[in-house]
Structure 1
């Protein structure tokens, strides 16, 4: 990204200048707290669900347990690690970039003549990446080791299970996490597979949307279609003007933007990402913020209902003193439903006639590759009931208007009332018309 590079160059020069100062003057020049806000230019904040893992910017709430409190239970649900494109998206990108004639290009994009799109290997579509700085397999293994360090006092090997949706990349993530978590004690028998597409499982699955007959991802497509993507045409004009012989279309621009995240996940390089500037990434990010809000966020009338299966289980888990740790692995779409009900990224309807900047529903912050949501039970001195705290992508996130507990947590009774109010009589089994005889509650945490 052009602006990021300029800023980083300026910083490098500033640091060099400081190092050239006499020692006495350096003491006055070095600042105890940074005055820079460089994260606003981080590409990972703008490339949606294809982004490698990136921490939630959070609010500055400390990660450690609050004073006189102890974490007595932790419940993890994690997205799979960094991967190649899905088959459908990969084929779409290939079809579009085939139209790109690069033989006669003269200019900054002349590198495309020899560029290899390694992320478009059809044999690897859907798979996690295994090498590079953003390796999905390494990300999950590392996450397992760090999670064990964080919650070692809650770990009882005889009780550990790793629950995973059955899709291969999710299961591979669960196993990599388990290897990092358990080390030499790892045993594949501890991994419990939950079939993703069996409607007979009803609510007793990590992918309840597949049991919901009435869930319609396209119910708000008319609103999504209202969003202007004219910036793609302007970007094409800019690139064509800067590169003699280039005749790039808005469709190809969109596919190259889509490929950026996979270039990072697969190759760990930035040549494609560097084609675009900050303003273009910002406009691009809003496409997915808005699209997924209307498909999976609170704008979809059944999203919170689908998320209620896991959240209801959380409430029962927090009340169960015998449970210390639950570890689950699913897809980004499953996490959307859960956070929609929890209200962690509460957002009014996103406008379609202009771009919103000040909204919480930002996809790269919510579900980058390897996204993780931890629900903690806190027990604190001087209180009779436990508190609930959410750690999302390494940041403690409070529930707006319900953060009066220690460390901005929420009491269990308040949390239960909050969820009941948000559900407002909705019922997963009834509203989704699940199959007759299918479970209407998530129970696998207790069944295995």
Structure 2
């Protein structure tokens, strides 16, 4: 039996078994916005703040760190969940290499168009940087196609994903020996066993001949996301197959994993994310020259953006509690529905973290300040307030405050080589790709 037929039959059985919703119900739920790291790109508006600059402010420079766009499947998800479940139903001949989907290419191109509209007064970049994997380079190429006005205007600079590059990389976790890509799997598995138990009981009652496991449930929920970005829709997303609360449980299991893998539960997260933060502020705050850019955009993998958020101190569940114990905010036996660390909001495909430099000389109350330069962090088009600096218009951060914040973060996270336990030669604690005159290539149409 193929996947489509199986899910249609199971969904139909579950529909008959469930109670009908009352006619007056206005509840709506979209599982595609709760798929964590495999969610198709969307802008969650969390919080629902206006992405436009504050009144009287104008963006003068901006830097973006972008995760690659939607892919078929990553190796771990395919080997651990998708392939085993598919083989239970029938032999599969689908090629699930980590290739960018057509949807991914379109979304990356749309992001380029979006940025050109968002910053109409800024110069188009001369270069766009990307790590060397196929899915990141194709994302960068598609982005450039949407951004540039004339063919071959913008060069793509490829940065090797070396395991001995120190912090001078767009994949610094790869060159950090102390970091483990499997971190968080154990904690996530603990919760997976809890939330899948009643689902397994329901499925076994409907298809008792099928050897159901927790991995099958996770695999089916992951199929919803990957199937959608490949084919445009998926029967695995059916509300008759999984209820809304069960999608939230899947999402939380992924949040636990990312919390311990690249979030506040990972001691090295701030260390891995700080070099990009430091290099970006140095780049944006440097006196402009003819060779500089107004917009800096870099493409990477899903591991780097959340570590930058940790380095900035945002989306911290325990930030306002006065108790620095982030692990206590992610229990393994129940959902913390009030958490800030929601990976679907901060890590969908094509997730982007932006730091905008603004001139606020025309902003009421800030007209006569000595330095009208302010900074703002925007995640997937949603402005975020920095916990240590909010002295500007609409809680943006002053130039002096931003310098102090990054200096403080550098004292906490700046020693990359020592914190990561680097033993190879020629390591560095600094990301210098933006200040070096690296050669790129045109991508054409």
Counterpart CA distance in 2 for 1:353 and 1:246 is: 27
Aligned to 2:191: 227
Q: 1:87 to 1:301 in 2, by over 3 A?
A: closer
Instruction: For residues 368-397 of structure 1, give each alpha carbon's deviation from its aligned partner in whole angstroms, at most 9, with x where no partner exists.
Output: 011111110011112333211011111111
Counterpart CA distance in 2 for 1:424 and 1:207 is: 22
Structure (1/2) with the larger helix percentage: 1
Aligned to 1:142: 110
Q: Residues 46-65 of structure 1 correspond to what in structure 2 (within 5 A)?
A: 46-65=34-53
SS at 1:368's partner residue? coil
1:61 and 1:407 in contact (8 A); partners too = no
Alpha-carbon shift at residue 216 of structure 1 (Å): 3.2
Counterpart CA distance in 2 for 1:60 and 1:100 is: 43
> Aligned to 1:192, which of 154, 157, 160?
157
Aligned to 1:73: 61
1:384 is the counterpart of 2:370: yes
1:202 and 1:440 in contact (8 A); partners too = yes
Q: 1:246 to 1:436 in 2, by over 3 A?
A: closer
Q: 1:269 to 1:226 in 2, by over 3 A?
A: closer
SS at 1:185's partner residue? coil
Q: 1:184 to 1:220 in 2, by over 3 A?
A: closer
Alpha-carbon shift at residue 257 of structure 1 (Å): 1.2
Q: Residues 29-428 of structure 1 correspond to what in structure 2 (within 5 A)?
A: 38=28, 41-92=29-80, 93-100=82-89, 121-122=94-95, 124-130=96-102, 135-156=103-124, 160-186=126-152, 190-199=155-164, 201-218=165-182, 223-227=187-191, 229-242=193-206, 248-274=212-238, 275-322=241-288, 323=292, 324-347=294-317, 348-349=326-327, 350-381=330-361, 382=367, 383-385=369-371, 386-400=373-387, 402-426=389-413, 427-428=415-416
How many residues are aligned here? 396
2:70 and 2:100 in contact (8 A); partners too = yes
Q: 1:141 to 1:7 in 2, by over 3 A?
A: farther
TM-score (norm: length of structure 1): 0.81
Alignment RMSD (CA, Å): 2.7
1:70 and 1:380 in contact (8 A); partners too = yes
Counterpart CA distance in 1 for 2:101 and 2:144 is: 17
Counterpart CA distance in 2 for 1:425 and 1:400 is: 15
Aligned to 2:433: 444
Counterpart CA distance in 1 for 2:370 and 2:21 is: 52
Alpha-carbon shift at residue 301 of structure 1 (Å): 1.0
Counterpart CA distance in 2 for 1:396 and 1:8 is: 37
Alpha-carbon shift at residue 144 of structure 1 (Å): 0.5
Alpha-carbon shift at residue 9 of structure 1 (Å): 7.9
Counterpart CA distance in 2 for 1:7 and 1:413 is: 55
Greater shift in the superposed pair: 330-339 or 414-423: 414-423
Counterpart CA distance in 2 for 1:419 and 1:229 is: 40
Counterpart CA distance in 2 for 1:9 and 1:153 is: 50
1:51 and 1:261 in contact (8 A); partners too = yes
Alpha-carbon shift at residue 187 of structure 1 (Å): 5.1
Alpha-carbon shift at residue 305 of structure 1 (Å): 0.6
Q: 1:95 to 1:317 in 2, by over 3 A?
A: same
SS at 2:376's partner residue? strand
1:56 and 1:392 in contact (8 A); partners too = no
SS at 2:375's partner residue? strand
1:305 and 1:428 in contact (8 A); partners too = yes
Alpha-carbon shift at residue 429 of structure 1 (Å): 2.7
Instruction: For residues 13-32 of structure 1, give each alpha carbon's deviation from its aligned partner in whole angstroms, at most 9, with x where no partner exists.
Output: xxxxxxxxxxxxxxxxxxxx
Alpha-carbon shift at residue 432 of structure 1 (Å): 2.2
Unaligned runs of 5+ in 1: 12-35, 102-115
Greater shift in the superposed pair: 421-430 or 84-93: 421-430
2:166 and 2:416 in contact (8 A); partners too = no
